[in-house]
Amino acid sequence: MTERTLGRSGLTVSALGLGCMGLSSGYGPPVDKEHGLRVIRAAVDRGVTFFDTAEVYGPFANEELVGEALAPVRDRVVIATKFGFKIENGKQAGLDSRPAHIREVVEASLKRLRTDRIDLLYQHRVDPAVPIEDVAGTVGELVREGKVKHFGLSEAGVQVIRQAHAVHPVAALQSEYSLWWREPEAEILPTLEELGIGFVPFSPLGRGFLTGKIDETTTFDGADYRNTVPRFSPENRKANQAVVDLLTRTAEQKSATPAQVALAWLLAQKPWIVPIPGTTKLHRLEENLGAAAVALTAGDVRELDTAASETHGARYSEAAQRMVNR
């Protein structure tokens, strides 16, 4: 596995990371603990050094799983986690990035992750009730105390990124980006390049759609949040099938899979982009990591760019969209 550096932060990680959320929440029932441990440790064995979690995944269960899985190799890996949500009675209950709460979350996360430092700490969602300067200042204090190594933001807009970065350097922004969601290209990516901030795309496979394994007839588990996503309505899946068809044709030419081509397209955008595909299956992990060896020509990239210039359906429900600050 090749390595990449997230912007000018000096934080070097594997070119592909592992998004761990789906092992504990989001796409149906959590996996069996022993299986979750196997998936994470298999990623380590295959050269992955970048693992993404958050207190709200579960809640709490995902950090515990990641902490146990990575404890034997802690000094060889980079762990990213997040604060920013209020959790009540085991459920997400709004936003909370008050400085005192950030500190509470960090102390609890350190224990669950079985570590003495968090390599990359993201604000999970921008909290309009707390000035971003206060958030950045608090994380800066935690960096000076040695409990955090790098500061990140998730789903933040350009103005927030600039304001935060002026107080404490932002190492990375995590937001959705894929052939199925191109919005970051307009303002986010140029800003990150200017400021020397790395980019970590989540849902780089369009929440599974770009793998070619989902079509308009696919049904999801009752606990799968894709049931609430407009983009996953049957009519929108049918309308967006053209992108998958092109991925499939390109994959055949490259002796690859559609998922590998979708990830290779992201890797071809900028050298400081590090996607974090998630999976619960060992064979899909193997497939995803194989994307690092898929070489796309400039012509391949242009053809994919053109085909994916417009997608149908919103990426979030109205309630979830209200949590996204652009």
Among 55, 78, 66, 56, which residue's Cα sits nearest to residue 31?
66
CA 320 to chain centre: 16
- Contact present, 118 and 106 (Cβ < 8 Å): yes
Among 258, 264, 253, which residue's Cα sits nearest to residue 291?
264
**Residue 316 known to be catalytic:** no
Question: Which burial class, exposed, middle or buried, applies to 145 when counting CB atoms under 10 A from its CB (0-12, 13-18, 19+)?
Answer: exposed
Span between the terminal Cα atoms of the chain, in Å: 33
Joined tokens for residue 136: 């950045």
Joined tokens for residue 177: 């980006």
According to DSSP, the β-strands at 148-154 and 3-5 are unpaired
> Before 99, cis peptide (omega within 30)?
no
Please tell me the distance from the alpha carbon of residue 155 to that of residue 152, in angstroms, as a whole number.
10
Please tell me the distance from the alpha carbon of residue 31 to that of residue 23, in angstroms, as a whole number.
6
Give the active site residue among 57, 122, 177, 316: 57
According to DSSP, the β-strands at 12-14 and 3-5 are antiparallel
- Contact present, 259 and 288 (Cβ < 8 Å): yes
CA–CA distances in Å: residue 206 to residues 242, 262, 263? 14, 9, 10
- Contact present, 64 and 23 (Cβ < 8 Å): no
**Which residues are catalytic, by number?**
57
